Each structure stands twice: as structure tokens, then as C-alpha cells.
Amino acid sequence: MKILAMDTSNVTLSVAVLDSEQLLAMQTTNIKRNHSKQLMPIISQTLAEAGMALNEIDRIVVAKGPGSYTGLRIAVTTAKTLALTLNAELVGVSSLEMLVPNAPQNGLVVPFFDARNGNVFAGIYEKNGEQVVNVLADQHISFEKLLAKINELGRPVYFVSSQFEQFQTMVENTLVVVAEHSGKLNSLPNAHALGILGLQKTELENVYTFVPAYLRVTEAERNWKEKHPNDENKESYVRQIN
């Protein structure tokens, strides 16, 4: 199966082309830039490096969130458009889950992104070789509560986050279990890992209804709810405008 994988959920932009699990080409940048202008040219460059035409792609895998609102929309919209145009399969993978393969060992892995004000986007996963199983669902949570949940599990954990240093003191003062962490360079997302995880998925996305997993309301949604406190429509503003 020929796979095109892409991630623009955070500062890093990563694109990979795979033939099943074999990596044919990958380009990753970690420079803050306009992903909306860079994504398609990088896709074209990566395909050319892989010696593959766009119409040969069987499955498109995209990091679906959580992450930057704008970044998520860029990759998800591009993936949906390409899947529809090419009649290719579409698979969404958690932006947190794709960090789990960065851990060098099996066991509990905790990937997270800083969400400001003492909060993070985080999940807890069990890694066993290339197999990844979700233990605690991805969520927007205070870091303090996340550490409490880790203590409840009572098992050693491995953190994967380029922002770990911001929270290191709290980890050392709060956790009662053994904790290790990756360095910044080993915490960057890469589309090769994303593609392999996407290959393992059996559930395909509906190209017409697939939306990013924001995990928290946007400013637009907060404003909507403030202006429509009695609105009986339970469909989120985010879903309405996607």
C-alpha cells in the first residue's frame, strides 16, 4: 500500500511517502512558518524524491489533533481534498499517538503538548514494539491532574514532549513513580511514524464528515455559546463551519 502521511498540527511540518512500512522519502521542518503555503510544495518535493506520482497514492494519513487550530485545519483540509480527488483512503491519527514511537522502550508513554495556563494536551499509551494502545484518552487537562492520573496507574512512565523542561520540576516533586523523558530532538513528530500508525488502522474516515480533534473549544465557539446561551442545537460551532 502506498501512503502519503502529513502533519502540520504544531510548529513541525512533516511529510512522508511510504510503501507499506518502508519509508521512501520524508521531509521535516521545525521552523515556524506559514504551513498553508509550504505544505503542498513539500508534498510535491517528497513525492518526487520517492519517485512516485500523486495518483499512485492508496491511503492518506493525517495527524488529526490535538494541536494548533490553524495547523490542524491546514493538514486536515489538504488530506480531505486529496483523498476526495484521488479516491484514496483517508485515515486520521492522533497527533499525540504519533509521538509514542519516539520512546525508545516499551511500557507506558505520555506524550503531551503545552496548552498554556498550566494545561496540556496529553494522553497515556501502552507501547509494545510497533503496537500502540491508548490507556488514557487524549484530553485537554491540567498538568497537575495528569500527574495524579499517572500516580494512580502506579507504573513507570516515559514522557515525550519538546516542552518537558517547563514541567520538569512539577514532575520531580509530584510523581511517585519512575519517570524518564526524551530530549527535545527526540520529541519531534515525524511523518514516517505517522504513516506506519496509519497503515495499522482499519477504521477509515468519512471524507465529508471528518474534522480535526481540537479537544477544546475555539475562541469562535466560546463566543458563539456566549451569544447563544439558550441554543438547543448541540452540534458544535466548529463542526458547523467545517
Q: What is the pLDDT of residues 107-159, one digit of tens each?
A: 999 999 999 999 999 999 999 998 999 999 999 999 999 999 999 999 999 99
Residue 241 has pLDDT above 60, yes or no: no
Q: Which domains does the chain have, with CATH numbers?
A: 1-93+188-216 (3.30.420.40), 95-185 (3.30.420.40)
Average pLDDT over the chain, rounded to an integer: 91
196 and 97 Cβ atoms separated by less than 8 Å: no
60 and 39 Cβ atoms separated by less than 8 Å: no
In percent, the amount of the chain with pLDDT more than 90 equals 83
Which of the residue ranges 1-5, 136-140, 220-224 would you say has the lowest mean pLDDT? 220-224
194 and 92 Cβ atoms separated by less than 8 Å: no
- Residue 65 burial (CB count, 10 A): 25
Q: pLDDT tens digits for 64-87?
A: 999 999 999 999 999 999 999 999
Separation CA 8–CA 34 (nearest Å)? 10
Output the CA angle 15-41-240, nearest 5 degrees: 75
The confidence score (pLDDT) of residue 184 equals 81
Q: pLDDT tens digits for 26-76?
A: 999 987 778 989 999 999 999 999 999 999 999 999 999 999 999 999 999
In percent, the amount of the chain with pLDDT more than 70 equals 90
Q: C-alpha cell of 85?
A: 480527488
- Taking alpha carbons only, the member of 194, 193, 162, 157 closest to residue 174 is 157
Q: Which residues contact 230 (CB under 8 A, 6 or more apart)?
A: none
Separation CA 96–CA 167 (nearest Å)? 17
Residue 17 has pLDDT above 70, yes or no: yes
Output the CA angle 157-133-119, nearest 5 degrees: 55
Q: How confident is the model at residue 185 (pLDDT cuts 50, 70, 90)?
A: confident
What is the mean predicted confidence (pLDDT) over 177-200? 93
Q: C-alpha cell of 67?
A: 494541536
Q: C-alpha cell of 48?
A: 518526487
How many alpha carbons fall within 13 Å on the CB side of residue 148? Answer: 5
Q: How confident is the model at residue 224 (pLDDT cuts 50, 70, 90)?
A: low
pTM of the predicted model as reported, rounded to 2 decimal places: 0.88
For every residue of the chain, DSSP letters joined together read: -EEEEEE-SSS-EEEEEEETTEEEEEEEE-S---HHHHHHHHHHHHHHHHT--GGG--EEEEEEESS-HHHHHHHHHHHHHHHHHHT-EEEEEETTGGGGGGSSSSEEEEEEEEEETTEEEEEEEEEETTEEEEEEEEEEEEHHHHHHHHHHHTS-EEEE-TTHHHHHHHHHHH--S-EEE--SGGG---HHHHHHHHHH--PPPPTTT------S--HHHHHHHHH-TT----S-HHHHH-
